[in-house]
Each structure stands twice: as structure tokens, then as C-alpha cells.
Amino acid sequence: MVCFALAASFVGAYCDTPLRAQETVPAQEKPSAAPQQEKVRAERYEIDVRFEPERGFLHAKARVTLRASQFVEAIEFELNPRLQILEVTDGQGRKLDFTRSGRIGSPKLLVRLVEPCGAEQGTTLTFVYEGTLVPRPMDYITKDGILLRDESRWYPAVDISAFTKNKILISVPSNWGAITSGQMLGSIGYGLGASFTWETARPVSSRSILGVPRITKGFQCSPKPVQEQGFQRIRMGSACAFDLGEESGSKIAAKAQNILEFYGKNIAQYGDSQLRIHQAFPGARGAIGYSAPGFLVVSEDLVKWHNYPGYAPEFLPHEVAHQWFPIEVTIAREEDGWLAESVAEYLAWRYLREKDLAAARTMVARAMRDALAPELLRPLSEGLKLFREGNEVAYPALYQRGMLVWRTLETVIDRERVDAALREYYKRYAGRSASIADFRKICEELSGRDLGWFFDYYINGMQIPEITIRRVAAGAPNEYAGEIVVKNVPADYQVRVEMRIETASGSVSHSVATHGEVTPFTVTVPGPVQRVVVDPDQRILRWTEAARRNRKQRELLAKADMVAYGSTPIQPDRTELVRAIHAYREAITEDPENLAGNNQQIRFVLGQLENRRGRLENASVEFRLAIALASLAPMETDFYRAWAHVYLAKIAQKRGDAAGARREAGAGLTMKSPALETLVAWPGSGGRETTAEQELRRLAR
């Protein structure tokens, strides 16, 4: 359980499975042998893979065609160390020597060629291997399903995000289906087994595969397939949902298709004939997804709650954006992760801005607060490496701050040029890898400006600007004169700052392109100025009052959280409880207007602390406030409301008010929110996990 510290770690929908806890994109951890990548590249794979899901076992024969640009005598591959290599042979059928890395857990593997391979020469190696893989959240072979991403290293690779043409034959038990990128050439059933052959028409950046048992629920496409002489022809650019059920499938397919169209208009036509959507991650809770060329897998909760307002609205647009970035334009290095995760998050925001403005605003408000919550901000240039330190580090940096940097770029070169830059980036690099430097070059070409300062400051740097407005004496009575003051920035920092000047006779919008630290401006106003709001749409990544208050509250509560949420089995004593209550009350006074949106959570925790101290009346007051307040995330709001009802029902019970307890529990149950299903182990429960729904049902009886 890591949901306790204020705000930043409570990401999105679930306490126990933060939004996209395990979501990653293909093509990340590339083999470290970068110099070799330039020497040898894979061009084609022909793989026969057979699964025994009950045993977590796979047996494979992989033929990989490679091209060397220089003279090589040995080739370094990566293959999951759990897979035992039975044989490696070359194009002439000669057995080759190979050595696996001596380091435990290392996937590295060196294959020595019989005769050296010269420049621009091709060679074909065939690997026969088998083994049992340990199931992991994102890569698993189990009786309930199979997902092997490129990152699982289930096939020998010199570069797991290489663009290759593939023909993959997947054998699974007879009542299963198997999917990978490309088109299905055919399927055959044989006794207890079935096999599916897939082939790509063009090089793709992934060899991830999916196996699903019990394919019975049919499929739904948007737009609907054309009926042609007794068979259904799926139209180009369709989104099709498989086995998600008639209603969910239709709706999810329609939404995905709408997103495909949106990006098609804004970036480039979708490159695949259709986007297939399947369910995966059996048994996992929360919003989890994974995108591969031409297909997308989502978790059960995403299917179940796809229609619930406020449940992970950015999720599907984020995943679909990956079909362009980084699936079609892969990233050159992990350090270029801003062009994978941050851009997907930015595009998801762009989509929501058109289709669900409230969700788009919430997404930005949360990011403006949480991106600056970590004590130590990490440079975005660390890219996908940030994932190694867990989601608590990667999410606020790469998703939230990264997205805000994209928005800030709009205020530097304008939104139309950001769109044009993304279109050009795709056009220039589709089917290849590219870097942040490549993207910067395009932005500079389009804007005719040197943008070195922007990328240095926002991608490599860790500083955050402070932007304020200082009023100065105006020359005329109908004029407002001021200076925009920008701090913590280099001399060449330039952004367009919007402002809303509120007067007694209406408000005026104005924008100023800043130069350096102080930029004077004057605006004609219709009446006496009452208030000036800087950057009202929060377009610039900068310090805001909400972010500052959030930080202060977190500092204040760092110690008190140990008492409130400490995982130690030892009960805090009275003094400790009282001290924690004081700290929480002080945190409320730090933000009386609830700009940071933390007060609901704080009231809830206060209720818990008072309850533990035996002050039931105080506790009730706090829980009532928690029900009345809202946070910056709809699912978080629901979560605290539901649990406040649980506590209030328990308090009623303690007082012998059975009817009151039932009433309170009933009020909680009417919420019917996904948040009612969030598993949580509260302090003092001895680590027992439960959901608000389970508790409410029990109390309603």
C-alpha cells in the first residue's frame, strides 16, 4: 500500500494499483550494446512458438535474418535467461557456439559465427529454445492467458524495438486464440491444440504476443463491417473490440475509433488497417493497458468501468496515442522517453480538451500540483530510466510534468506549430527511431528560432519558473500597466503569458510575450481593475499556489502520516495521536480555500485519528466534512466518501443506533463507484485488505 502520502502518490483511479502502475510501452529497455545496434540489425523474424499455459511453458524456433553494416565475427543478442537454448544454427545449418552472460539474470547472449559476416551482408540464424517463464504483471504465461511483451525477451533480439517483418505461428490449446501484430493468415485446430499464423505486411517495432482462452463473446467494430457475399469485411481504420461483450465492446470500439480519427486528423492517418482491442491481465485490478502495433490490451476494470464518469478518462486516448509514438516512431534511447510517455499523455489531454473539457481540466490541475510534489525533481532527460525507480518517480515526472512541458511548448512556438512539429516528426521518422534532438530540430525549423534554452531548461533542467505580475503606475486612467516578472529562468527564456484582468465592468484577456526576467506591458481596461489572474488556463509549467500549498502540507504531514498510516503493528499512544491530529489540523489552515484539493483526504484522516482516540463526536464531524468535500480526482473523491460512510456507520453501530448504521451504509452503497472496489488495508486492521463495498454490505445488514 503506497496510497497514503498526500496527493502525489494517489494517482488516478486506484489506491493499490495507481493508474498505469504497470503500463509501459514497447521498445524501451534496449540492449545496452548500442554500438552493435549500428553494426547489426534484425530485418525479419520467422517464429514458431508453442505454449503450454498450465505449465507456463513455451517452446520456440526463431529464425532471424540480420544485416551487418560492418565486419562482425560474433553477434550479441538478448534472450530471457529462463529460456534454455537447445541449438543455434546458421543459414547453412551449421551449429554455432554461443555463450550466455555469466551475470545472474542477464539476458545477454553472444553467438559466434563460423565465418565473419561482412559489410551489408545478410545472415540468418535459427534459435531453438524452451523454458518456463515466471509470471510477472505485464508478461505471463498462465492458464488464464498469455502476454509476452518485447520486454519479456521471449525471442532473441539485438534490439527489442527494431523494425522487422514478422511471420509468427503461435500454438495454443484448442479453445484459445492468439494474436500478434500484422494480419492473421490462417488458423488450424488439431486435436487438443490450435495454431494461428500472423504476418506483417510492413516492418513493425514489436514482436509482442497475446493468448486468450475462451473466445466466445464475438467482436464489435466501429464503423460496422460491410456485409459482402456472406462475410464481413472490416473497413480500413476501424477499431474492433474482441470478447469484451456486446455492449462494452461496441462502446469501447466506438471510442477507440473516435480517438484514432482525432489523431488521424492531427498527426497522420492511422498506419494499420484496424486497431484490435482485447482484454488481458487476468486477475489484476485497476487500469492497466499495453499497446503494440495494431493491437491494444486493457485490464478487466477498464472494460467494466469504461462508462463510469471520471474513471481513467485519459487512459484510452493515452494508449491509442502510443500507436503513433513510440510504436511508429520509436525512440532512439531510453533518455528520449519524453517522446513516448509524455507525448501520449499530452495527446490524451488534447483529445479530452475536445471531447471532455472537465476531465481535461482536472488532468491539468492534478498535474500542476503533483508534478511539483516530489522533493527532488528529476530531469525529464532521464526518460524511461525513471521507471526503474518505480511509478512514484516516473508518473509525476514523465507523465505529468512531461505533459505540462508539451503544453508549455505551445506557449513558446504556439499550438499550431506543436501540431505541425508532431506531424513532421511522424512524417520524417515513421518506421525509424528518433530523439529529442531530432524533434527539437523540427521545432526550430518551423519556428525559425533557436530553442536550445527551452530543451535545456525543461528537459535537462530541474528548475521551475515563478511568474508574477507587478502593477506599475499607468499613464492614463483607462490603462492598466504592469510588469511580468519571471524568476528562476535563464536570460533567453521566452514564453507567452496569458492573463485575465478583471474589472468592475467585465474582464479583459491579454497575452504578453516575455523577454528575460521583467517584461513591461500596458492594457486598456473598461473600468477599475479588481484582480489579475496570471496564466488562467495553467498553460505554463510553473509554481502555482496549489503546488506550493501541497508541498507545505506534505512537509507538515510527513511525520504525522507515520502515526496515521504507519505500517507498524504497534498502536500509537495517546500523545502521538494528539500530535498527529494537530499536524493535520495545521495542514488544513495552510490551505483554507482547498486550492490543492487535499482537504477531503485530510478531513478523512482526521476522522480516523479522532475515532482511534475514542472521540466519536469529533470523528463524525470530520467524516461528514470528508463526504461534503471533493479532491482533484473523481475516483479519489469517491474513495474517501465511501469510506467516510463506512466509518459513520460503524460509529452509529457503536452507539447502538442500528437504524442509523444501516442508513449510512445504504448511502455509501448507492454510490456504485469503482472506488468502492479499491482494496485497502487500513492501519490497525492487521494488514487485512478489504473494500468499502464489502464493509458497507456487512454494515447494511
Question: Where on the chain is the footprint of Zn ion (CB under 5 A)?
Answer: 25, 341, 344
Decide if 94 contacts 67 (C-beta within 8 A). Answer: no
- Residue (341 or 677) nearer to Zn ion, CB: 341
Shortest CB 295 distance to Zn ion, Å: 15
- Residue (344 or 380) nearer to Zn ion, CB: 344
Burial of 574 (0-12, 13-18, 19+ CB in 10 A): exposed
- Residue (312 or 451) nearer to Zn ion, CB: 312
CA pair distance 172, 169, nearest whole angstrom = 10
- Residue (30 or 554) nearer to Zn ion, CB: 30
CA pair distance 323, 376, nearest whole angstrom = 32
- Residue (314 or 341) nearer to Zn ion, CB: 341
Shortest CB 23 distance to Zn ion, Å: 5
- Residue (129 or 395) nearer to Zn ion, CB: 395
401 secondary structure, DSSP code: I
* Ramachandran sector of residue 340 (left: φ over 0; alpha: ψ -120 to 50; beta: rest): alpha
Decide if 176 contacts 213 (C-beta within 8 A). Answer: yes
Shortest CB 395 distance to Zn ion, Å: 10
State whether residue 252 is helix, strand or coil.
Answer: helix
Shortest CB 58 distance to Zn ion, Å: 26
Alpha-carbon separation of residue 287 from 34, 124, 624 (angstroms): 34, 41, 29
Decide if 44 contacts 162 (C-beta within 8 A). Answer: no
CA pair distance 681, 229, nearest whole angstrom = 58
Backbone angles phi, psi at 513, to 5 degrees: -85, 120
Shortest CB 399 distance to Zn ion, Å: 8
What amino acid is encoded at 557 in this protein? Answer: L
- Residue (341 or 638) nearer to Zn ion, CB: 341
Alpha-carbon separation of residue 236 from 13, 66, 225, 377 (angstroms): 33, 32, 10, 44
Shortest CB 403 distance to Zn ion, Å: 11
Decide if 195 contacts 188 (C-beta within 8 A). Answer: yes
What amino acid is encoded at 409 in this protein? Answer: L
- Residue (25 or 596) nearer to Zn ion, CB: 25
- Residue (260 or 560) nearer to Zn ion, CB: 260
600 secondary structure, DSSP code: H
Shortest CB 172 distance to Zn ion, Å: 27
Task: Cell 495454443: give the residue.
Answer: 172
Shortest CB 341 distance to Zn ion, Å: 5
- Residue (321 or 409) nearer to Zn ion, CB: 321
- What order of strands is seen across the sheet that includes strand 518-524? 466-472, 479-487, 518-524
Shortest CB 342 distance to Zn ion, Å: 9
Tell me the helix, strand and coil percentages in the chain, rounded to 5: 40, 25, 35
State whether residue 6 is helix, strand or coil.
Answer: coil
- Residue (159 or 345) nearer to Zn ion, CB: 345
Buried/exposed code over 60-81 (b: 16+ C-beta within 10 A; e: otherwise):
bbbbbbbbbeeebebbbbbbbb
Shortest CB 31 distance to Zn ion, Å: 21
Shortest CB 66 distance to Zn ion, Å: 30
Alpha-carbon separation of residue 80 from 129, 208, 469 (angstroms): 10, 14, 57
Report residue 42 as a C-alpha cell: 534484425
